[in-house]
């Protein structure tokens, strides 16, 4: 029974509390839905919703005033930056919030490109979401910079890291890679990529961690990158974006911003205009949710960083079990083809599929008619879908698991897929 799964890091009696987890997501109580749309956006946990409402009900304000609501909003915002820093193993001043990952990346690309010169080079990949490709292509076009592409192996879905050294040189200014693919789930080996990039160039390493942060422990120092972005709405929190950067680099960059917004901590220089304080409050609630869960798995007296890591360790162990169950079932439906890593190793629980004789959008519709929510298409991973040769045939059907899904939901989805696979439209 999946709901009584042992956690790897305690070894003892603690088991994954799936019923308690699900009780913390109001949207999971609506109807009889199966949410497999997590890579597009997860449901929000109750502590995040409550914190957002509490902030608004108790009075919100802009920052810098001497009155109660402004002071409280400032304290809450500082606490949200500190909480996010703990989730990423960073310092609070290195964290900036923004509307979403795409806006932050466009803004960072503009600031970085101010340093680029005609004839410089950058590296982007064929495995990334377009939000980690197009901003760099646009900046390169503006500055006369040459774009080099890191390919992936279409059979295994893994980046051709072996070809990376040949793409780097003295003029390489940036390497932009993803933590995990939003289309086929490949989990990239960022420390290995960082080691190559740092040994062979002075390039800035930018990581789009939107799809890895929800599933694995993220520790920026261990990753070895310079900048990292993620989106809390993909990990049970509010619609928001997060930027982390190394202090020395952030201090060097000159983001586009209005003149009075000087003297902010380095990453907050990218927080242009008035932010969504209610989203920051919800972010704090999201971290509280992870923290409370992590307390069950961490040693007594553990720090918040350790408790957060313990929570993600437990999520990962549980998601691996769900993934194994899905992969087993998929193997028994011959007309289903899985793209990307064939096993649970080297991947997050995001599965890109095609079904012979059934276009992805038709399959998604058929699942939706059974209250199983999944996306079909390219999910903005246009390079991935093109490289796999699936652009003309409608892309992929994507099943995205996360720690609030259950084994029963996997079985229900497999039954539905088996029925869809028998159709001939
Ligand atoms: C890997 C990846 N990067 C970037 C994005 C864009 O994120 P945002 O919606 O926060 O701009 C997404 C959204 O699906 C994504 O999956």
Residue 215: band (very low, low, confident or very high) from pLDDT cuts 50, 70, 90: very high
Same domain, 312 and 191: no
Q: Which among 184, 211, 375, 400 is the best mutation to test ligand 1's pocket, defined by most ligand atoms within 8 Å of the CB?
A: 211
Instruction: Give pLDDT tens digits for 363-417.
Output: 999 999 999 999 999 999 999 999 999 999 999 999 999 999 999 999 999 999 9
How, if at all, do strands 146-150 and 121-125 pair?
parallel
Q: Is the pLDDT of residue 217 over 90?
A: yes
pLDDT of residue 261: 76
Same domain, 335 and 249: no
Q: Is the pLDDT of residue 11 over 50?
A: no
* Rounded distance from Cα 210 to ligand 1 centre (Å): 6
18: in domain: yes
pLDDT of residue 233: 98
pLDDT of residue 9: 43
Q: Which among 107, 131, 190, 208 is the best mutation to test ligand 1's pocket, defined by most ligand atoms within 8 Å of the CB?
A: 131
Locate the ligand 1 atom nearest the alpha carbon of residue 102 and give its number: 11
Same domain, 54 and 39: no
* Rounded distance from Cα 199 to ligand 1 centre (Å): 29
Measured CA to CA, the distance from residue 84 to residue 86 in angstroms comes to 5
Written as six digits, the tokens of 189 are: 């080996």
Instruction: Give pLDDT tens digits for 276-299.
Output: 999 999 999 999 999 999 999 999
Instruction: Give pLDDT tens digits for 125-148.
Output: 999 999 999 999 999 999 999 999
292: in domain: no
Same domain, 99 and 196: yes
Residue 14: band (very low, low, confident or very high) from pLDDT cuts 50, 70, 90: low
- Nearest-CA neighbor of 297 among 6, 3, 4, 1? 6
Same domain, 264 and 413: no
Locate the ligand 1 atom nearest the alpha carbon of residue 103 and give its number: 11
300: in domain: no
- Quote the domain boundaries for residue 312: 2-45+306-422
Residues near ligand 1 (Cβ within 6 A):
39, 100-102, 129, 131-132, 178, 182, 208, 210-211, 231, 241
Measured CA to CA, the distance from residue 252 to residue 385 in angstroms comes to 37
Same domain, 150 and 200: yes
Instruction: Give pLDDT tens digits for 146-203.
Output: 999 999 999 999 999 999 999 999 999 999 999 999 999 999 999 999 999 999 999 9
* Rounded distance from Cα 58 to ligand 1 centre (Å): 32
Same domain, 226 and 105: yes
296: in domain: no
Q: Three-state SS across 250-277?
A: HHHCCCCCCCCCCCCCHHHHHCCCCCCH
Give the pLDDT mean for 303-315. Answer: 98
- Nearest-CA neighbor of 286 among 271, 301, 308? 308
What's the CATH number where 194 sits? 3.40.640.10
Give the pLDDT mean for 104-128. Answer: 98
Locate the ligand 1 atom nearest the alpha carbon of residue 128 and give its number: 1
Q: Is the pLDDT of residue 213 over 80?
A: yes
* Rounded distance from Cα 20 to ligand 1 centre (Å): 28
Q: Which among 101, 132, 385 is the best mutation to test ligand 1's pocket, defined by most ligand atoms within 8 Å of the CB?
A: 101
**Does residue 363 come out as left (phi exceeding 0), alpha (psi in the -120 to 50 range) or beta?**
alpha
* Rounded distance from Cα 15 to ligand 1 centre (Å): 32
pLDDT of residue 285: 98
Q: Is the pLDDT of residue 4 over 90?
A: no
* Rounded distance from Cα 242 to ligand 1 centre (Å): 11
Q: Alpha helices of 355-401 — where are they, by DSSP H?
A: 360-369, 382-387
Instruction: Give pLDDT tens digits for 64-83.
Output: 999 999 999 999 999 999 99
* Rounded distance from Cα 78 to ligand 1 centre (Å): 25
* Rounded distance from Cα 398 to ligand 1 centre (Å): 15
Average pLDDT, the chain: 95
Q: Which among 234, 382, 395 is the best mutation to test ligand 1's pocket, defined by most ligand atoms within 8 Å of the CB?
A: 234
The answer to whether 74 and 68 have CB atoms below 8 angstroms apart is no
Domain boundary among 257, 286, 315: 286
pLDDT of residue 265: 80
Same domain, 92 and 158: yes
pLDDT of residue 6: 36
119: in domain: yes
List CB contacts of 252: < 8 A, sequence separation 6 or more.
none
Instruction: Give pLDDT tens digits for 220-256.
Output: 999 999 999 999 999 999 999 999 999 999 999 999 9
What backbone phi and psi angles, to 5 degrees, belong to 355?
-125, 125
Same domain, 260 and 315: no
State what percent of residues in the chain have pLDDT above 90: 92
Same domain, 82 and 167: yes
Number of domains the chain contains: 2
Whose CA is closest to atom 7 on ligand 1?
101
What's the CATH number where 360 sits? 3.90.1150.10
Q: Is the pLDDT of residue 2 over 60?
A: no
Give the side-chain half-sphere CA count within 13 A for 141. Answer: 6
- The DSSP annotation for 298-360 comes to SPTT--HHHHHHHHHHHHHHHHHHHHHHHHHHHHT-TTEEEES-SSSTTB-SEEEEEETTB-H
């Amino acid at each position: 029974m999946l709901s009584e799964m042992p956690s790897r890091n305690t070894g003892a009696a603690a088991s994954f509390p799936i019923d308690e987890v699900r009780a913390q997501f109001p949207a999971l109580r609506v109807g009889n839905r199966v949410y497999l749309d997590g890579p597009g956006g997860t449901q929000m946990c109750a502590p995040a919703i409550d914190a957002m409402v509490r902030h608004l009900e108790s009075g919100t304000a802009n920052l810098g005033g001497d009155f109660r609501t402004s002071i409280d909003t400032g304290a809450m915002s500082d606490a949200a930056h500190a909480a996010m820093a703990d989730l990423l193993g960073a310092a609070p001043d290195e964290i900036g919030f923004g509307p979403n990952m795409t806006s932050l990346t466009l803004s960072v690309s503009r600031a970085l490109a101010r340093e680029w010169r005609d004839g410089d080079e950058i590296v982007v990949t064929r495995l990334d979401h377009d939000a980690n490709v197009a901003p760099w292509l646009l900046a390169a076009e503006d500055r006369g910079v040459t774009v080099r592409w890191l390919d992936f192996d279409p059979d295994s879905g893994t980046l051709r890291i072996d070809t990376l050294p040949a793409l780097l040189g003295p003029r390489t200014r940036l390497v932009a890679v993803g933590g995990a693919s939003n289309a086929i789930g490949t989990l990239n080996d960022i420390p290995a990529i960082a080691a190559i990039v740092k040994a062979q160039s002075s390039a800035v390493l930018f990581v789009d961690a939107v799809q890895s942060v929800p599933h694995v422990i993220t520790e920026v120092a261990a990753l070895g990158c310079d900048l990292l972005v993620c989106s809390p709405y993909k990990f049970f929190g509010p619609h928001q974006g997060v930027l982390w950067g190394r202090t020395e680099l952030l201090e060097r960059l000159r983001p586009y911003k209005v003149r009075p917004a000087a003297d902010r901590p380095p990453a907050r220089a990218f927080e242009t205009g008035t932010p969504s304080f209610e989203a920051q409050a919800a972010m704090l609630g999201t971290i509280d949710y992870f923290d409370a869960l992590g307390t069950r798995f961490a040693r007594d007296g553990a720090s918040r960083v350790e408790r957060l890591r313990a929570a993600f360790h437990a999520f990962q162990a549980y998601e691996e079990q769900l993934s194994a169950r899905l992969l087993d079932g998929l193997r028994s439906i011959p007309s289903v083809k899985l793209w990307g890593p064939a096993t649970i190793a080297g991947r997050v629980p995001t599965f890109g599929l095609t079904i012979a004789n059934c276009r992805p959008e038709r399959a998604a519709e058929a699942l939706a008619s059974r209250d199983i929510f999944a996306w079909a298409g390219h999910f903005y991973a246009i390079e991935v879908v093109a490289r796999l040769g699936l652009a003309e045939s409608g892309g992929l059907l994507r099943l995205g698991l996360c720690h609030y899904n259950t084994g029963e939901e996997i079985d229900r989805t497999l039954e539905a897929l088996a029925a869809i696979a028998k159709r001939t439209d």
